[in-house]
Structures are given as structure tokens and as C-alpha cells.
Structure 1
Amino acid sequence: MKTILIVDDEQLARQHMRTQFPWADWGYTILDEAENGIEALELCRSVEPDIALLDITMPLMDGVELLHLLKQEFPRIRCIMLTAHRDFSFAQEAIRSGADGYILKSPIAADELRSALSKACEELDKTIRLTTTEQSYKSLVLNYQYPLRQKFFEDIQSSLLAQPEEIIARGKSLGIELVAPSYMVLECSVDELVLFEQRYPPKDRSLVEFSMLEIVRECAEADFPCGFELFPVSFGRFVLLLTGQQSTDRLLKENIVLFIRKLSNSLAQYLKLRLLITVSRPFSSIASLGSVYKEAIKYRIHHFYSDAAEPVFTDQALPFHAVPDKILLKLEERLEALILTQEEPVYEDWSSMTRHEFLLYKPEPQAALHWLESLEQLPAAGNAWHEPHPLKPLNLKYETSFLRALDAVIARFIDMRRQRLPSLQLRHELSAAIQYIKTHLSDELNAETIAFKVQLSPSYLGQLFKKEVGVSIVDYILEQRMEMAKHFLQTGQYRNYELASKVGFRSYSYFCTLFKKYTGITPNEYKHAHQPMVER
């Protein structure tokens, strides 16, 4: 049975609650009662109840203050507020502070009380399941000895373990089988690792890492024709060591490619991540593991021009070659022509041409990023708007994908144009429409309302807007709302459910659905990813 603590300053009210309801039939027992918040807090410290029924108006410490303290000290306890009609504003504050519900005291309706208790129990059971799951995961992590495997691999890298005999012996003591005629290293790193790390609070990262390693282990057990050992390196990075492979070099590489494709699908489905996998040359002595791993890391940069779940084989990676200046000049001229057009530019052809040339030559990644950043300095970029744009300079220094960097450049030119729409000499009706949209994002917005404000018919405004702005009114409103939501999430100005109404959504779940569709991640993930980074 779930236990209940009654907290009310009126003795008759406590007696009424204790005697007038069939607690045992409902599955509850009254653990104790208290006449004020201070007494209730002391009781919770000695006998922690499952549910607390808290009167809002009490002497010494009221129900709302007690609620705050219980949430801090005993987050497992579910709290239901008891209120009179005149206390409704306090009840609202309590709900915002984390109460699981509230019921009216005069009189307490049995069906409302039972319903509120049922909801509180659901939340309590959910908390218990999550806690149990977390404890089970931690137990599994220890059982599979991932931390010990990580330390073992670190000792090999630092040469604390250098001789084949001692490496094999130490591995055997940990259940790691390293006796084999040959080996290969798969050096694995999560793409966009910084963003992946920011997606999760520190307390959750061990469970996320364990989930990732288990997916890798299960896929390897199912699809590899040879033995393997798995070593974590750091959050988001690990090594898969292939042992005893008997296939020919060509067949083995084909098997590796097939395995990586299947693994990538699983990781994308369950953890929404992409791995960069670099495959070493075969080697015959386990003592070479540390040096072969370091060599594989150097080849990680060759993933820069890949857009699929394909590995980089160190013995097949070709040298980088600079793109000829005349080709770069031609690409710059084509881009300037697009920037200067009065219509909304279409960048697909230019993007395809640029992608083709860079994937053909594959220049040094830093040189490619430098050239992409320099496109903002083209004369046409300034002439098109007659003033410097207010956006921060594009910084691609840490980008690990050419295709993402190219998309970022195109998105930047589109953003620059849209932010400078008033200076593009739009018709005054369109300028007025844009201004109205930007100042009423929290209101109900539709084409009819906007058209009325600018004195045009809805159909004509829609056609005009699409032609001159480049997107439909509906898409433009959504874009502006999403950008405002991103700003609020970065600043932490509002709670998520408050933020939804601030940017014009009446349903928080619908807002979350559209936000994920627009950004690729949930509001919470975006918030975590854009929190200030702490130096470590």
C-alpha cells in the first residue's frame, strides 16, 4: 500500500480526511499527520511517505513553502495541494512549483481525491521504475567491466604495458582474449562530438555511453566472422579490435563495410548519432596496438569529405590536393551572380558544382574551410545590402564535414538576405506585413489577419509574399517563431511550457513536434547543447 501524510492546521479537517474515505479499499494507509509545515518536514525526515496532502494556508510554514522544501529534500514524495476557492492563485503557484495536483477542501469530493491520488501514484511509480532502471544499468556497466577495459587500453597507450606477454596476461585476467595471428583496429568517434556531449547532462553520460557500447557489442557479435574486443577510450570514442580474422583482405574489408552500415543504422535509430570509423592496416603483434591506434587517429581527418556511413581505410586514403585557383575563381563568380539577383537566389546548382569540385580534388580540410569562410567577404555580399551585415562572422574552424560546412555557408547567405529584406526595396505592404509578423509572434497569426492589416486580399498577399520574400507566409511565420524559441532556450528566459505560448503555440506538445522537425532535436536537447561550456 502507498503511504499518505496529511498536513493541515485544522484538527477537524485532518480528522475528516482520516475517517471519511475508504483508504484501505483504495490501496492507501495514513502514515501520520501534521498541523504545520515545520512539523511535516520533521516527520518526512523520520518516516518518508509516498504522498503528502498539503493544506496551502497554514501558520509557521505554509503549504507552498513546504512544497519547495520537500521537492529539494525528498523529490520522490508526490504532493497534492488542498485549497479553498479563495486560494486559487496559491494553487496555481503550487502547480508551477511542482505539485502533482490540487483539490478543493469545501467539501473534498471523493472522486476528485481518488483521481488526484491515482495520478500521483502514476508519477511515483514512474520515478521508481526510472531509478530501478538506472541502478540496473550501472550494475551492468560494472559487470561488463567497461571501466577496467578503458584503463587497460590507457596502459597500453602510455606504454605501461609494452611487452606482448604482459599485455596478453593482463588482458586474460580481465576476460580479454588477445592471442591471435593478426589484428586490425577500428578507431571509432561520434561525429560532432561536442554537440553530442552537450546533449546529455553529466549524470546521464555513463548510461548513454554504456548503451552505445552495448549496441556496438551486440552488432559485432551478430555480424563479425572473427573475434573482437571492445575498449572505451573516452565519452563518444572507443576502439574495436578485430582478432584472428581468416578472410582475404578484400573479403574482410567488404565484411567491415557491411557491419559498419548495419551498426550505423542501429546507432542512428536508437541514439541519433553517426560514427566516424577509421580502419587500420593489419598487424601481427599485439605490442603494436598503441602505435597503430595513434596512426589511425591521424587518418580521422579523411572523414571530412564523407557523407555516408562508410569507413576510412588507412591503406586506401589518398593525399589531399588543392583545388586549382581558376576553379575557385569560377565558383566565386557564380556565387556573386546569385547574390546580386533581385529574385530569391536558388543555390542548388552552385552547391552541386562546388561539391563536385571539392570531392574531386579533396583539398586539406582547413584550406577548404578557410575558402568557405572567405565567401562572406565577396564584394557582392556587401553591395547587395549597402551596409555590413550584423551577424557574427561565420566560424567553421571546428567543422568536421565539408558538406555540413557548405550547407552552413548557403544558409548564412539566405539568412543575410532575409535579415535585410527591408533594404531590398520590398513593396510597403510586404514590409508592413513582415513587421506585423515579427511583433505579433505570440498572437494568433494567419494570412487573413495579416492581409487585413496591410489592406490586401489574402490570396494576393500570399502570391506577392512568396514571389518577393521567397517563402510562403505560413513558412515565414514558423521560421520566425522557431528562431525566437531558439533564442529563448539559449537565454533560459522561460520554462519550456511557458516558452511555447510566448512564440504563438497553444499546445506544448505540438510546439515540441514542430521544433524537432525544424531543428532536428527536441527543445530540451537544444537547451542542453547551447548551455555555456565549462572549462575542464
Structure 2
Amino acid sequence: MQLDRNEPSPDIRVLIVDDEYMVRSTLREEIGWERLGMKVVAEASNGRQALEKCAAYSPDLALIDISMPVMSGLEMIVSAKQDFPGLRFAILTAHPDFAYAQEALNAGALAYVLKTPVLVQDVERMLANCRDTIRAERESHLRVRFADQVLSRHAWDIRHALLLDLQRGSHIAESHWAYLFPYAKPGSAGGRDQAASASGALGAPSAQPSRLQVMYVTALHMKRLLARYPEADAPLVKYSLFQAVQEVAADCGGGTALPDATGGVYLIRTLPVSGSRTKSESDVQHIITRLNRFFANYYSADAVIGISSSRSSRESLRDMLHEAEAASELSFYMPGREAPYYAYEKKPAVRSSGAAWPKVEAELLAKWRQPHRADVPGCLQVLRHYAESDRPEPDKLRRQTLALLETSGVPLTRSDWNELTDNGTLNAWLDGLDKVLGRDTSPALISPAVPAMHEDIGKALDYMRSHLHDNLTLAKVAEHIHMNPSYFSHLFKVNTGTTFIDHLTGLRIERAKQLLQRPELKNYMLCDEIGFASYPHFCTQFKKHTGYTPSEYKQQVLASGTRDDGGK
């Protein structure tokens, strides 16, 4: 949708209201309505009849006499403003005293003109001014509707970007705060609220001091849920989850939803400081009940909800986002879901300092070094005991175990990767490991197999070689081969033995060595050819990889007469 200033505006529909027939006839016949961009749609002889005509013909402008029987023009304006808020008014008056016109203008009329006598030029001049005002209002309303449509259409992207800014601790402009909390008016309740505003607090709609609280909403086994749908539909599923949380919040006292990339949603709520604990608990339970019903009915999944502590300063939101997500991860250790949600303030302290992991890692490696089949049950028992006794952060435990599998050369498919990084329970995670380890019957650590290059990684490398001049990122290359960025990073390292960035830099250095053999090409021109952001950065990386500066390398090649054709 675009606003086109060259597109003609529709005619403005006019209702003439006057108790004198000759005045109505003169206005109807002698005014250049078409030239003004207007059209008379109805006439009325008094205010009450005019209200009936408004309901039947929906005029944009009523041209009204002030003094009429049954219902005066002023009475009609007051009544019409309530029933027809989009209607505008222009006044005809036989009274030269400005007080009458002033009363009409105060009631909401756009303009007035004397009708003793009716001077066509004066009336047309007034109507032209009314026309311009109404058209300007139309354009303003159209722009507001257009802006609302844009915000609605891109709500996920806008709110996701704001979430990233909050998580990074970036400055949030006041206009963005107003977008997130359109009802919040800091400092509106007097001294105490003003002090809260100065420290960065958000006021509640009730003009009482408020506190903020964050709820993190996701589905148990979110990646498993998304895997039910084609990859192209994943954004639609994530958007539907975001919309559901936003709608539930709107029905349960308000709040603003911020979606993350995994499909989870952070719900930021304002809580009145003076509110009772029972009422707050009741509101939370109501939200949870609605969300559980939505997840069960539409996705056959359980909702997992983590709740942060409550604080008065919006500068604390970054910490509260982390608290809410960390609380939701308690579902990893509480498969029975003893509570309908997980509160950060009740979260057991993490006892694991990480000191026990090296011992666990060594024990697992020893079991995988057995000459025959790996001791899968023993490995799983070691991990279960470590998890239940030390209670490490679930995400850290998953990452450490995946790193160990990579080191061991255990082959992981994309579905394996998704299952082992999913936000499920401890039992489900161990079941996934059982499948992976049980499938790998060879003693991986004795003689790790060198897998053939994965087809998609081969495509990625071809794409990287042909686009070295572009601003290549891991996400961009992963998108090119239609692969999840996290899994692409893992698969890339397994197949190439290096990280994406290191390999990309190596490819660019090799291309630079070839280009430096061309005497006509200036060294500083290489940046654009191979994608380095600046010449100093290129020089630093080139010397790091070759031991020479670009100029030294070029002189050496030219002096020796040798050429490096990159294996071609």
C-alpha cells in the first residue's frame, strides 16, 4: 500500500441544512459543487431531520443554519458529534454579531459565513477551506492506517530487533519505549512517580508506580515442534506463537511481547506496586491457563513458562530477560512439572562450578575407547549422575556434550543436532544421546573415520569462492544452502576442520596471493576484490597467514619469477 498524491480524492459529500427553501435552492443550484470537488447528497429543513439524513447518506460536511425550528444548528452539532464523529460542519448565520458564530466554532464548526444575503463567492471560499481541511484529515487518517498496517505486518521483525537491542544492552530511544508501552506515562502520578521516571521506571496506566516483570514463553521441545512443518513455514509458526502471547496478554491485563529467533516469546508486564500478591498470582495463573490451552489445542505441545523477578527500573530489563529464560530451563530437571510455571526467585542455586566436568569428560572418553562396542548405558549413566548431582545449566551441558561428540568424531545428522540442542527434559535428551551413540558402533576415538565432504558443505564452499568480494556471513551462506545456521556451523567444522571465519579468511588470502601476481593491480585495490573491510585489516591478516606484507610478497614473487596459481 502506497499513498499517491496524484490520485484524485473522492468527492466530499455535503448535507445542506436550512429551514428556508430559497436558501437551500440557491446553495444547491448556484454553488460550483463539481468544481469544488463536492457533491450535495441530501437536504434537511431542521436539525432533527438532518440527523436522520446523516444516518441515511453519511455526509462528510454539513452546511448548517444556526437558527432553525425543532432543533437548532448548535444542538444538531452537539448531537451529531456523538453519533457521527467523522462529520464536519460549516455554519450559515443570519446574525452579523460574531458571538453567534463564535459559539458554533467552539462547538466544532470549521468555518462560518453570513447568509444575509447569500453571496456565492463567500460561500465557495468557505467551502474550499473546508474541503482542504477535510482532505488533509483524510490524508492524515490514511497515513495513520498505513503506518498501523506496516507496524502490524512487520511487528515480529520490529519487536525482535528491539529484543536484540535489550539483550545487548543497547540504548533504546524513547520513541521505541513508547511503541512497546503506548499506555505507560512515567511521572504522571506526582512526586513518587516522577522519581521513578527519573530512574528509568515505567508508569502504569492507572498512574500508580509500577514494577516490571518478564515471562518467557516457549514450547517444550520447540525444535521438535518446528520440525513438523516445512522449513519455509517455520517463520509462520513462530509468528503465530508470538501473536498468541500478544493476544493473551491483551486479554489478561496488558503487556508487550518480544519474539526471539527460536520461537520463544518474552512477555514484559507492568505490575502495580500496591497490588496484592494474590491478585498478581491470579493474573499469572490466568495467563498460563490460556497459553497452555493454546499450545495444547493448536500444536499438541506443552507450554513452558519462566518468570523473572520484578523490578522498577527498565534498565534492569536485560537481566530480567535472562532470568525469565533461565527459569524456563528448570523444565529440564523437573519433567513432572510440579509447578505450572518456573519462577526465577524460586530457582535452585546452580551448584556446579564446572570443576567436575573434566573428570566426567575423561570418564566418557575412557568408555568410548573400549575395543568393542562403546558402553552406551555407562556413558548415559555418567551424564545422568553428573546432571542430577551437580545440576549444571542445561544449555551449557548440551554444548559441552556436543563438543565432546565432535572431538570423538561421532557423526551427527541435522536431526541429531536439533534433538540434542532442543529445550526438552533430561530424560528426552538422554534418549536422544542413546540413539546417536547406539548407532555409532565403531570405536570412534581409536580410529576416527574421515567422512566424505557433505554435499551441502561442498555447495557452500563453491558459493564462498565465487562471492569472496561480498560481505559474507555464516548466516548468509547457511541461508543460500537452506540450512539452519547453528547446524551449518557444526557441519562446516566437521567437514573442513576449521571454523567458518577461519576458512573464509584462508580462501581470501589464497585469492589475494593470486591477484598480487598481477603487476598492474595496486595492493590497496585488493580489498574490494576479496571482501576485506579495510586495507590495514587485509595487511594484518595477510602477514599473519604468509609471514609477509602484501608488498613484500609481491616483490618476492616478481623477483623470483614464480607464480602461485592456487593449484590450477
Return the TM-score normalized by structure 2. 0.35
Which structure has more relative contact order (CA 8 Å, sep 6+)? It is 1
Return the TM-score normalized by structure 1. 0.37
